[in-house]
Amino acid sequence: MSPFQLDVSLRKKLQRQLHGFTLDVDFTLQSRRVVIQGSSGAGKSMILRALAGLATPDSGRVAINHELIYDSASGVNKTPQERHISYLFQDYALFPHLTVRQNVAFSMSRGLLNPSRNAWREETDEWLDKMHMTPYASRYPEQLSGGQKQRVALARALASRPRLLLLDEPFSALDTNLRKHLRQEIDQLQSQLQFPLILVTHDPMDVEAFGDLVLHVHNGRIHEQEAA
Ligand SMILES: Nc1ncnc2c1ncn2[C@@H]1O[C@H](COP(=O)(O)OP(=O)(O)OP(=O)(O)O)[C@@H](O)[C@H]1O
């Protein structure tokens, strides 16, 4: 397995009415299971958004496996698509007008190089199967439960074969049993496929499952780094 390394240095100032917020973080990760913890408003989602290319920092540098994806000094700022990083949102963000199968297939149109129609179908079906969603393949998102939506979102995020998976409180909308179940599924998938993940959470069970390295964020800064 090739080594993984993420080098991050980000600075961003936000001004909202009287209160300003400054994100100012520097870290290097080699672990494939990283948890970001911190109080509400600490800047956790902002870090994920900047890594995914959904928010542009004022300055800094991000390199994944030594390839620059953002560098304010040399003007590099790759688009979210070019970064090959998947971001699993709190609210799933599925396309409402596409079926479950189409939602998953959509991400593969950019994950695979020149896929043939059949390779595409087969792989979509494999992901649906892995996520136990085959019986729901023709349904639309509004016809699914929260846990099912989350499974589809996960299948879609992984089907694009990301170099890094970002999970923003992925289980927060689920009940306790479902949360436990999905956590185990992601745990097993990650062990099997070894994709690097960074997970933002408040839940100690997530920290236990995925926190090989825990970054504690406080007021826009990394307060502490803790290895398991
Ligand atoms: N567009 C914006 N303009 C100004 N301030 C913003 C904007 N977006 C976020 N912020 C502020 O940036 C800070 C960090 O927000 P962020 O969403 O990263 O927090 P978080 O740690 O993920 O919080 P939570 O756990 O509540 O999701 C917050 O104080 C927030 O109010």
Q: In what order do the strands lie in the sheet with 164-168?
A: 85-88, 164-168, 197-200, 33-38, 213-218, 221-227
Q: What is the reported pLDDT for 177? A: 84
Distance 135 CA to ligand 1 centre (A): 38
Pocket of ligand 1 (CB under 6 A): 14, 16, 21, 38, 40-46
Residue 202 contacts by C-beta under 8 Å, 6 or more apart in sequence?
A: 37, 169, 172
Q: What is the reported pLDDT for 109? A: 64
| 114 — pLDDT class (breaks 50, 70, 90) | very low
Is the pLDDT at 119 greater than 70? The verdict is no
Can you say whether the dihedral through the CA atoms of 166, 12, 71, 31 is positive or negative? negative
Q: What is the reported pLDDT for 111? A: 47
pTM of the model: 0.90
Pairing of strands 33-38, 19-29: unpaired
Q: What's 1-84+164-228's CATH class?
A: alpha beta
Smallest Cα–Cα separation from 90: which of 153, 174, 202, 169? 169
Distance 57 CA to ligand 1 centre (A): 14
Which is more confident, 98 or 114? 98
Is the pLDDT at 113 greater than 60? The verdict is no
Map residue 141 onto helix, strand or coil.
helix
| 117 — pLDDT class (breaks 50, 70, 90) | low
Q: Distance (Å, rounded) from C-alpha 110 to C-alpha 99?
A: 18
Is the pLDDT at 102 greater than 50? The verdict is yes
Distance 206 CA to ligand 1 centre (A): 21
* Ligand 1 atom 18, closest CA: 43
Distance 41 CA to ligand 1 centre (A): 5
Amino acid of residue 83: R
- What phi and psi values does residue 146 have, to the nearest 5 degrees? -60, -45
Amino acid of residue 202: H
Residue 78 contacts by C-beta under 8 Å, 6 or more apart in sequence?
A: 53, 69, 70
- What phi and psi values does residue 174 have, to the nearest 5 degrees? -105, 155
Q: Distance (Å, rounded) from C-alpha 223 to C-alpha 209?
A: 21
Is the pLDDT at 73 greater than 60? The verdict is yes
Q: Distance (Å, rounded) from C-alpha 125 to C-alpha 145?
A: 20
Domain boundaries, the chain: 1-84+164-228, 99-162
